[in-house]
C-alpha cells in the first residue's frame, strides 16, 4: 500500500471472507454490488485503505422458500424482482425491488448491500421492515439474526459488528397482503421523496415510512389502532395523520420537511386504502 493504491481483497469462499473480516474489521470496506460504495469513493466521502469484495463468494447468492423466504446477501435486486418464488409468495417485495432506479442498477445492486449501506433513501428497507424481515449476520464466532428495524440505526449506520458480514435475509410467510408506494418528486428513476410500505399478517398491521428520516419509521402503537377492527377510510386517515405527526422529516433536494409531512399523510392513507381492498 502506498499513495492512493487501494488493497483489493477477493475471497473465494464465505469462510475466507469471514477470516478477512475478522482480521481487518472496518479497515476494509465491504463491497457487494458496489453501486453505493463507488458513489461515495468518487465523491470523496470514502477513502478506504482496502476493499473486501464478496463477488466471488457463491454461497451468498440464492433465493429459497419453505414457509418463509431466504435471500442471500449477494442476490441482486433484479434477481429478486424476477424470481418466480418471490412473485408468487411475496409479490409486494418483488414490486418494491422492481421500482429501484433502473435495470442497469438493479442488475448490480444486492440485497445485502442495500441493507448494510443503510442509505436512508433506498426503497427495499421499508418493505422488508414492514414484512417483519430479519437480517442474518455471521462472524467467525457465530451467527445472529437482527430485525431490519433494529439493523439500521442511523444515517449509513448499522448494528453490525466490525467482524460480522450480513449473509442473508429471512422474510416470514403468512403475509395476508402488502403494499408499497413510492412517491418521487423528480425523475421516474429517482429515489423516493417518501416511501410507504404496509403489510398485514396474522391480523396485525405494520406501516413503515422510508426516505424521510435517518432510518425507516415504524410506530407499533399507531398500527395497533387497526387490531381487531376493519380498516376503513376513516381509520386509514387517522393512522396516516398520526404517522405524519409522529415523524420528524428531513429536508433535502427531494423536498422540504413540511412538504414531506404532507406527502406522508397522503401516501400512508392511500397505502392503507389499497391494503383494505
> Could you tell me the domains of the chain?
7-53 (3.30.43), 58-171 (3.30.465.10), 176-276 (3.30.390.50)
Residue 83: Cβ-neighbour burial (10 angstroms; 0-12, 13-18, 19+)? buried
Return the pLDDT at 2: 41
Q: Do 52 and 24 form a contact (C-beta atoms < 8 A)?
A: yes
Q: Do 177 and 199 form a contact (C-beta atoms < 8 A)?
A: yes
Return the pLDDT at 213: 98
pTM of the model: 0.95
- Neighbour count for residue 43 (Cβ, 10 Å): 8
Q: What is the pLDDT of residues 87-144, one digit of tens each?
A: 999 999 999 999 999 999 999 999 999 999 999 999 999 999 999 999 999 999 999 9
**What distance in Å separates the CA atoms of residue 21 and residue 231, rounded to the nearest whole number?**
47
The CA–CA distances, whole Å, from 267 to 161, 180, 261 equal 35, 10, 10
**Res. 242 pLDDT band, cuts 50 70 90:** very high
Question: How confident is the prediction for the chain on average, in pLDDT?
Answer: 96
Q: Which strand ranges, in their side-by-side order, compose the sheet holding 28-31? A: 7-9, 50-53, 28-31
Task: Give Cα 246 to chain centroid, integer Å.
Answer: 21
Amino acid at each position: 500500500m502506498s499513495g492512493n493504491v487501494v488493497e483489493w481483497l477477493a475471497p473465494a469462499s464465505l469462510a475466507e471472507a469471514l477470516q478477512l473480516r475478522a482480521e481487518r474489521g472496518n479497515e476494509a470496506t465491504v463491497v457487494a454490488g458496489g453501486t453505493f460504495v463507488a458513489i461515495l469513493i468518487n465523491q470523496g466521502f470514502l477513502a478506504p485503505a482496502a476493499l473486501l469484495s464478496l463477488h466471488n463468494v457463491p454461497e451468498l447468492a440464492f433465493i429459497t422458500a419453505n414457509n418463509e423466504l431466504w435471500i442471500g446477501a449477494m442476490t441482486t435486486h433484479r434477481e429478486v424482482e424476477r424470481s418466480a418464488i418471490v412473485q408468487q409468495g411475496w409479490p409486494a417485495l418483488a414490486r418494491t425491488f422492481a421500482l429501484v432506479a433502473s435495470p442497469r442498477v438493479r442488475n448490480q445492486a444486492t440485497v445485502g448491500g442495500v441493507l448494510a449501506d443503510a442509505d436512508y433513501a433506498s426503497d427495499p428497507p421499508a418493505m422488508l421492515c414492514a414484512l417483519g424481515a430479519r437480517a442474518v449476520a455471521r462472524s467467525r464466532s457465530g451467527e445472529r439474526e437482527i430485525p431490519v428495524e433494529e439493523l439500521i440505526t442511523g444515517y449509513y449506520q448499522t448494528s453490525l459488528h466490525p467482524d460480522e458480514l450480513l449473509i442473508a435475509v429471512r422474510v416470514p410467510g403468512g403475509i395476508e397482503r402488502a403494499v408499497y408506494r413510492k412517491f418521487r418528486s423528480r425523475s421516474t428513476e429517482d429515489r423516493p421523496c417518501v416511501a410507504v410500505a404496509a403489510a398485514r399478517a396474522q391480523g396485525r398491521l405494520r406501516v413503515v415510512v422510508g426516505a424521510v428520516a435517518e432510518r425507516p419509521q415504524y410506530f407499533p402503537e399507531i398500527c395497533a389502532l387497526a387490531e381487531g377492527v376493519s380498516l376503513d377510510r376513516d381509520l386509514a386517515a387517522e393512522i396516516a395523520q398520526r404517522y405524519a405527526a409522529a415523524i420528524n422529516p428531513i429536508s433535502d433536494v427531494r423536498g422540504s420537511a413540511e412538504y414531506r409531512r404532507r406527502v406522508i399523510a397522503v401516501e400512508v392513507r392511500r397505502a392503507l386504502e389499497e391494503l383494505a381492498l
